[in-house]
Amino acid sequence: MSEVLSRLQAVLEARRGAAADTSYVARLYAGGLDGMLKKIGEEATELVMAGKDGVPERIVAEAADLWFHTMVVLVAQNLSVDDVLAELERRFGRSGLDEKASRKST
């Protein structure tokens, strides 16, 4: 895992015990899973709009917001970036078209 993702993951795990008024992440946890998932929808929409605008700095900033909020949801569900990376590793090199075709036959 990249070093910054690893350090951020550790912070997100540590925030599970923090008071909601001391930390943005603790406030997200205190708001419950529905609130965290709503943020994912908002951030994904913001990334779509940035992509349409085509301003590189905005696209990067919105993608970072979406990755960050996705990590919050993963940690809240006792998952981690490593779980997602392992899934990407498992898929690596397998054509998306082949994978789609195998789903239709099951």
Ligand X SMILES: N=c1c2ncn([C@@H]3O[C@H](COP(=O)(O)OP(=O)(O)OP(=O)(O)O)[C@@H](O)[C@H]3O)c2ncn1[C@@H]1O[C@H](COP(=O)(O)O)[C@@H](O)[C@H]1O
Q: Of 73, 20, 19, nearest to 43 (Cα)?
A: 73
- When the beta carbons of 25 and 81 are compared against ligand X, the nearer one is 25
Q: Which residues lie below 8 Å from residue 46, measured CB to CB, with a gap of 6+?
A: 62, 65, 66
* Alpha-helix residue ranges (DSSP H) falling in 54-106: 56-76, 81-91, 96-104
Note whether 63 binds ligand X by CB under 6 A. no
Among 10, 11, 49, 79, binds ligand X (CB under 6 A): 11
Candidate residues 5, 9, 63, 68; the one interacting with ligand X per rule CB under 6 A: 68
- Segment lying near ligand X (by CB under 6 A), choices 24-32, 48-56, 89-97, 98-106: 24-32
Q: Is 60 in the site for ligand X (CB under 6 A)?
A: no
Q: How far, in whole angstroms, is CA 42 from its chain's centroid? A: 13
Q: Is 23 in the site for ligand X (CB under 6 A)?
A: yes
